[in-house]
Structure 1
Amino acid sequence: MIKGLGNLGDMAKMMKAAQEMQTKMTEAQAALDTIIVTGESGAGLVKAAATAKGELTGLDIDPSIFDPNEKEVVEDLILAAIKDAQAKASARMESEMAKITEGLGLPAGMKNPFG
């Protein structure tokens, strides 16, 4: 005699949960393109904007730093602002992904299995 679906019912629930997670991850990945973070250096003299995915979208440079004798300083400030924006983008991406996975009982820091 067959006693219901047993493990097959559990498998169907797991598959449905995996599909829902994949949908949420896809939506979150798309949202990361619209989230903008700003990195700074030189006490705000140089600002770099990036999406939460880390794509650089803009630079804002205070004209007071353009001294021809300090070209290397300006270059360093620009690089520092970009690196700061990228670090903030990475942190924001992790934060957004954690929001999705926290309710699923997945281990902390688990990478996106669908990305």
Structure 2
Amino acid sequence: MLKGLGGLGDMAKMMKKAQEMQGKMADLQEELANMTVIGESGAGLVKASCTAKGILNGLDIDPSIFHPDEKEVVEDLILAAIKDAQTKATAKAQEEMSKLTEGLGLPADVKLPF
């Protein structure tokens, strides 16, 4: 009875997969917003924490680095820690996205928007 419809069965499967992926993407977005990564610089003297989506939410600075004549060094350490945290956030997001795409049978290198 449906022989004349050709690939519509495949289309229905694709639509179902797309809906599943949309739901899983929404779940992953929420998970990434709740995951925390820590970046550090100066052998741990400055630590920055951010979500796996790259939102900075904390700084921890060892008081031993507060010397008035080293203001620029402290600023550089803070920036380095933030950049490290953001790099780790990007890597974590990509890792989690890879898990999602592999589970759906998509190629590992497919780039999906966040």
Deviations 1:72-111 (A, max 9, x none): 0000000000000000000000001111001333233322
Runs of 4+ in 1 over 4 A off after TM superposition: none
Structure 2 alignment gaps of length 5 or more? none
Deviations 1:9-46 (A, max 9, x none): 11101100011011101110111010000000000000
SS at match of 1:108: coil
Match of 1:73 in 2: 73
1:89 and 1:46 map into 2 onto residues whose CA distance is 17
Give the deviation of 1:59 after TM superposition.
0.1
Distance 1:2 1:27, change over 3 A: closer
CA RMSD, Structure 1 to Structure 2 (Å)? 1.6
SS at match of 1:44: coil
Distance 1:13 1:68, change over 3 A: same
> Number of residues paired by the alignment?
114
Match of 2:43 in 1: 43
Residue identity in the other structure for 1:88: K
Could you tell me the TM-score, scaled by structure 1's length?
0.92
Could you tell me the TM-score, scaled by structure 2's length?
0.93
Q: Does 1:18 align with 2:14?
A: no
Identity, in percent, stands at 72
1:25 and 1:11 map into 2 onto residues whose CA distance is 21
